[in-house]
Structure 1
Amino acid sequence: MKIKRRSPDPFFYSGGETGILLIHGFTGTPSEMRPMGNYLKRRGYTVYAPLLAGHGTSPEDMECTSWNDWWNSVLEGYERLQQEGVRRMFAVGLSMGGSLVLNLARTRPLDGVAALCAPIRLQDRRVYLVDVVRHVWPYLKRNGTKPTHIEEHLVPYDRTPLKCVSSLRKLVRHVRRHLSEVKVPALIVQAERDETVVPKSASYIYEAISSKDKTIRWYANSSHIITLDKERERLFAEVERFVSRIAGNPDFPSASR
């Protein structure tokens, strides 16, 4: 059965002994990671992109979840790849997914982690008022659409539960406090035209993690959903080079088995 590019469903591609876990962003779905997944599949990797709890269904479903539920979805995805018998495991996350994979890197054996446009600070200052206003205005309506080459892949909600925005902030604070515990090889990627995350977030993450092998890359012509934007092919190649360099280097013994 042919899967539409807008499908919110999780996807799994069986491949070689190196597994890559792809984690989508806040209110997003695996559809925003699918082009990267296809790229990595063609290069022989085993790839899994789970759907985080409360995502891809309805805002009402999402309102019943918190960051602990999203985190449990990541752990289930991690265990799925373990069960496939991969010998090496990497995690790549977009936006909130970047926060979640950084948390995974400090709490579970991983061979490497890539955080793409992961938040430390957010551009919209209204998020810092959500705990005050969410009891009066429980939802924030979606404002406009993305450019066509991005929008055609998305399965967006028409509104976002502010309760979940509050939980997102708790996740970001939790990850920020523990960044020094991230020690695995890391690739930090940031779009310079990010309309959602303050770009300096990437520099903060890069400086705070304890990884000896770490790289930061800036994308001058990309916006927040960098996995779908105009420089995505460069991004996919960069992620694949990072994975292949670590996976193929005997100086980096496997951490995931």
Structure 2
Amino acid sequence: MIRDGCAEVERVGGAGDQGADVIATDPFGRRWIIQCKHRRQGVSGAPVGVRDLHVLNGTGRPVHRGDVVVLVTNAAFTKPARRFGQDQRLHLIDRVLLEEWMQRGQPVWELLDDRPPTLKDPAPDVSPGAADSPEPKRYTLASAYEAQVLPWKPATMRQYFVRSVRRGVPVPAGKWDGQATHYTEEELRTWLADWASQAGSTSKIHSILSASNGTEPVDASMNSDEPPGDTVVSHAREKPRRSG
């Protein structure tokens, strides 16, 4: 969860954990409650059944105040368990999806088959003429970077979203299609402007926004996937002078 850009990740499993092993807050401000079920024999062992989901279902939201409740196992789930999870809005990650999560490096919310239950579509626009308005183009973080709507690659943008949550800067909601979150250009540029307004005068973001407006060239170093910093720091070293 830390790799995915979550903040306040806490391992709480143990005696009296009331069904929670990991608690985390994602870049969208959602509280994740995760329970882990380990099987010594993996997929060859007993699958996780409905009984294993009862405690998590009873405590995930009422006790732990979770927005997204997940059970992760290195084994499989029974068909009744999958039906129960779907009925109760519980996300189930089996051995196959767990390996995919580890290997692909995508955030868990982009790998889940089901839409996170707390991420809702915006209310439809019922104003006069709204039906004639074309749907704005949407971008994933990756396609927004490729189209130069965003100056940073997805991994770096997720770190900025985490910082936004901590600093009270609204994170764009976007629209989830079951695989990834898609944002309009207006949403992303509004976030960039909001972030710039709270950043210090030496922040990289001011130079980047100026460059995007054509007032100066974009520094390629600002398009890196390295963890972003709030201030511009020069790493140049003065060459020693030769004596004589």
Decide: shared fold, TM above 0.5: no
Structure having greater relative contact order (Cα 8 Å, sep ≥ 6): 1
TM-score normalised by structure 2 residue count: 0.29
Which is higher, the Rg of structure 1 or of structure 2? 2
